[in-house]
Amino acid sequence: MASAKGLFSAALGRFFFTNATVTEVSELGRNLRRIDLTGPELANARFTPGDKIQVFVMGEDMRTYTPFNWRGESASLIGFVHGEGPGSRWVKTVKAGDAVQFFGPRGSLDVGGITGNVVVIGDETSLAVARAFSESKRVSVVLEAQQPEVTNEVCAKLGLSHADVTSRGDVDGMFDKLSAQLKAGATPYFTGRAATTQQLKQRLKAAGLSFGGKTKAYWADGKRGLD
**What pLDDT, in 10s, does the model give residues 137-174?**
999 999 999 999 999 999 999 999 999 999 999 999 99
pLDDT at 1: 47
Please write down the long-range contacts of 135-138, taking CB distance under 8 Å and 24 or more positions apart. 135/49, 135/68, 135/69, 136/49, 136/111, 136/112, 137/111, 138/162
CA gap 53, 43 in Å, rounded:
15
Positions of the chain with pLDDT lower than 50, given as ranges: 1, 4, 6, 9, 11, 13
Q: pTM of the entire structure?
A: 0.91
Torsion, Cα 201 216 188 110, to 10 degrees, reads: -160
CA gap 197, 190 in Å, rounded:
6
pLDDT at 16: 79
Question: 125: buried, middle or exposed (CB in 10 Å: 19+, 13-18, 0-12)?
Answer: buried
Structural domains in the chain, CATH included, are 4-106 (2.40.30.10), 118-215 (3.40.50.2000)
pLDDT at 84: 81
C-alpha 147, offset from chain centre:
17
pLDDT at 58: 72
